[in-house]
Structures are given as structure tokens and as C-alpha cells.
Amino acid sequence: MSAEPLSGGGPVVPGRDPGRPAPRPAARRLTPVRAVPAPATTPFVRPGRHAAPETAPTDAAPDADAARDAPSASHAAGASLAPEPAPTRETPEAHAARRVRETWDEVEAHVDELADWFAALLFSLAPETRALFPTRVTEPARRLVRSLVLPMSTVDRPDELRRLVEPLVREHRALGLHAGQYEPLGVALVGAMRRYGGQAWDEATEHAWVRAFSLAAGPMEQAVRAAATPAVTAGTVVGHRRLSWDLAVVHVRPDVPVPHRAGQYLTVEVPQRPRMWRALSPATAPRPDGLLEFHVRAVEGGWVSRALVAHAATGDRWRLGPASGRLGLDPGSSREVLMVAGGTGGAPVLALCEDMARRPDPRPCTVFLGGRVPEDLTVLDRLRALAEEHSWLAVAAVCEDDPLDERTLPGTLPEAVLRGGDWSGHDVLLSGSPTMIRATASALLVDGVPLDHISYDPFAD
């Protein structure tokens, strides 16, 4: 697909809602973006050419940030007469990461508009990137923006940054981005932030964003250059079974097995919706023949999930991105395990239980699987069959609207989990919608489960 032409009035954003205000003309905005004050000839510093050392403003420094922050801090302290604590010196990295976090919090409410504007700028700067996106750019552009901001907000924590780079780079590669495109990505991001950053956006903030991007993009660019394996594997649909109007099970045989761990998810692109990558979690532990099983629920208004449930067919060729995800058992822990899954969130939980069943030393594990109606519990029979075979596994089904049988618990998942025991000494894995995860995690935290015992991958960004 060729690049979208720039109209006279501004960048064309295909898929933009007609009711939404159009972005301002590109030329007017792009020129200043290129002129962002930066320590190099281009706004972003390539790997090995990190920004020149610079003393970041300290909390006590007389810059605009400090001037804004200082009065509120002293008011909060009640203008005490106690001696002022010595100002802590903030490193340039910490300053940049903090400014990114603060400004991002301000713009989150406008993230869709920001993503559209970002995409329009990106397509102007690097027209070849247009072909990587579907007609409606908002959702993938939003994901891409977030995948850049996340490492930028951790440039002050090298370990965390290193941990983030690998999965993010895998997603960037699956999208089709190459190392040389980080620079236009950064220019587009800062340009979009300049437009949507509001009153808090000033020269110092822009400088902090440029610095944070330089620090985060360096390792990502290097990782993309160093990647030895293909970013994407093709696979063929070998089975499509519709369980209800909104649920289907799809089997895909990849041309070569996709390396992944039980509990991880893959990004997939299906022929019914080209360039709309979505995350799906295999419902089985990795198999020697590489076969993948996905349980898909059609969400209301969902572009990909509805097409998948209704129209996926044997013989379809899918593209499978790399595996990612935090859901998994900590090999260093010997604690008992609690897994809580809602709806298709049961898929990675089944994969994890299958994986444990193959191990010589499975840990005692309790699974709560919940849904509104019995049909939502697509993996219940297989979990119950595993529990019959293995004494280390106990499975409880929870149905909010319609109890399945006498073994089904009433109420919501968090209610049933809390009634079910004391989980404060367990490792906890949560899988399903963000709402379910938030509710269950909050309930468990209040009930004494330490935060660092809980891991999850919400089924939405």
C-alpha cells in the first residue's frame, strides 16, 4: 500500500471519526518538531551516542519545574519551622522519566486523539510505515505509542528497562518496524505530545521527553538490529469450532513451532482483518507438533474477535507474532498457587496446569474459573479432567447468572475466591478482563496477599 498523501489542510488519518476535529496542518506542526532543542543534530541520539551528560534540575533548582513544585510542597508541609531536608539530587535519567510519567498522566484521557495525530506525523515523516497499519489507525497507533512511553518512563531503572525492551521489540518487529524507524517514531511522538501535552508542556518538558526517548530507543534499536530470528511465523487454521454465538475454538498449525511458555500470549494477524494484530493466549502447553489452540470470545463492536468467531475457516493463513507475557509460575518459589480466570482468561490457566502436570514436582494449585453463564467456562471440563487425574489440582467454577451444577459456586469471582480460603501465602495468577483482574487483585490485597505474589496479563491494553 502506498503512503497516504498529505491533503492541503493536514495529514489524512484514515478511519478518523468524521465528527472528530481534524488535526492542524502537518507542515505547520512538523517544522517545529524537527527544531526540538536537542543535544545532537537530530532530536534523538543513536545507540552509542547517548546524550551528553547534563545536570538535571534538582528539586531545589531554580527552574520552572521546581518553581511550580516547591510552593505546593511547602504548603503541604504546613510551612513547618523544622529544618528543610537537604535537596535530593535527581539524575538526568530520573528527571526525564519523572517528566514523562507526569505529562503522560495528563494526556492519557486524550490518548486516542494523540494516537491519531502521532500516526499522521509518522506517515508524513516515514511514508513507508503507512503500509504497516490498517485503515483505522487509532488502536494500533495507541498500542505503539504506549509501547514507546512505557520504556521511556523507566529510563531511570536500567533493570526494568532491560526487562521491557525484549518483548516490546518483538512486538515492534512483528508490526514490521525496522531499526531505522525509531527516529521518526520519536519525532512523531514528541510532536503529538506537543499538541496534546496541554499547559504543562514547555521547553524543559520537551527536552526531558527527547532525552527519555533517546535513552529508551537506543537499546530497542540495538535489539532490533541484533535480532536473529524472523519476527513473524505463518500458520494454517486446521480447525474452527463455534461453541456459541460469541465463542469459538480455533486450532492453528504454525509452519514452524512458535517458541513460547505456557501462560504466554501471541500476537496474531488474521486474513479477515489484515494488519490488525491482536493478542491471543494458547489454551494448551507448548506441544511437540507446535499446534496452537485459541479460545476466542467476540466482544461487542470488536473488529477482529467478531470476524474470528464468525468467519475464521480451515485453511486460513494466520501470521503469528512472538510470544510475550508475564503470566507464569516463578521457578524460584515453592509457594502453593492460586489461579483466578474469567471467561477466555481460562485458556492460559489451562495451559499452565497442563504444563505443571508434565513436571516432576507440581505445586498444590487451586483454580477458580468464572463466567456469567456456563457457556463462558470453555476450559472447565478439561480442567476438571486434569483435577481428577492429579491430586495437586483443585478446580472451582463460579457462575454469576446461572449456576452450572451443584459444584458451581454463586457470585462474582472475587467473592468466591475470598470465601474459598486464606491465600496470603500463595502465588496468585490472574487472567481475564481488566475489570475482573482489578476487582480480584484489590480483594486479595485487602485480604493480606502481598502485591509481589500477584501476577497478571489483563486481556486488554
Beta-carbon contacts of 255 under 8 Å, excluding residues fewer than 6 positions away, are: 233, 234, 235, 236
Minimum separation from the CB atom of position 444 to ligand FAD (A):
20
Burial of 101 (0-12, 13-18, 19+ CB in 10 A): middle
Of the two residues 373 and 460, which places its CB atom closer to ligand FAD in the complex? 460
Minimum separation from the CB atom of position 239 to ligand FAD (A):
16
Cα–Cα distances in angstroms (integers) from residue 63 to residues 36, 149, 203, in the given order: 19, 24, 11
Which residue has the closest beta carbon to ligand FAD? 302
Of the two residues 284 and 344, which places its CB atom closer to ligand FAD in the complex? 344
Of the two residues 312 and 337, which places its CB atom closer to ligand FAD in the complex? 312
**SS3 (DSSP) at 12:** coil
Minimum separation from the CB atom of position 447 to ligand FAD (A):
25
Of the two residues 146 and 335, which places its CB atom closer to ligand FAD in the complex? 146
Residues in the chain: 461
Q: How many Å apart are CA 412 and CA 157, to the nearest integer? A: 38
C-alpha cell at 56: 538535571
Q: How many Å apart are CA 277 and CA 458, to the nearest integer? A: 16
Q: How many Å apart are CA 29 and CA 447, to the nearest integer? A: 51
Of the two residues 326 and 407, which places its CB atom closer to ligand FAD in the complex? 326
C-alpha cell at 69: 513544585
Of the two residues 50 and 146, which places its CB atom closer to ligand FAD in the complex? 146
**In 48-181, alpha helices (H):** 64-76, 92-107, 111-125, 138-152, 158-175
Of the two residues 38 and 247, which places its CB atom closer to ligand FAD in the complex? 247
Minimum separation from the CB atom of position 346 to ligand FAD (A):
9
Of the two residues 303 and 392, which places its CB atom closer to ligand FAD in the complex? 303
Q: How many Å apart are CA 219 and CA 38, to the nearest integer? A: 19
Cα–Cα distances in angstroms (integers) from residue 201 to residues 106, 153, 358, in the given order: 10, 16, 54
Minimum separation from the CB atom of position 128 to ligand FAD (A):
25
End-to-end CA distance of the chain: 27
Minimum separation from the CB atom of position 368 to ligand FAD (A):
18
Of the two residues 240 and 306, which places its CB atom closer to ligand FAD in the complex? 306
Supply the DSSP symbol for 45.
P
Minimum separation from the CB atom of position 430 to ligand FAD (A):
12
Which residues contribute to the site for ligand FAD (CB under 6 A)? Answer: 139, 265, 278-281, 294-297, 299, 301-306, 325, 344, 347, 433, 457, 459-461
Please answer whether residues 365 and 428 qualify as being in contact, where contact means their C-beta atoms are separated by less than 8 angstroms: no
**SS3 (DSSP) at 61:** coil
Minimum separation from the CB atom of position 158 to ligand FAD (A):
25
Q: How many Å apart are CA 244 and CA 394, to the nearest integer? A: 27
- In the block, cell 463460579 appears at 398
Minimum separation from the CB atom of position 281 to ligand FAD (A):
4
What is the C-alpha radius of gyration for the chain, rounded to an integer number of angstroms? 24
CB atoms within 10 A of CB 456: 21
Of the two residues 196 and 265, which places its CB atom closer to ligand FAD in the complex? 265
Beta strands in 281-324 (DSSP E): 292-297, 317-324
Minimum separation from the CB atom of position 402 to ligand FAD (A):
20
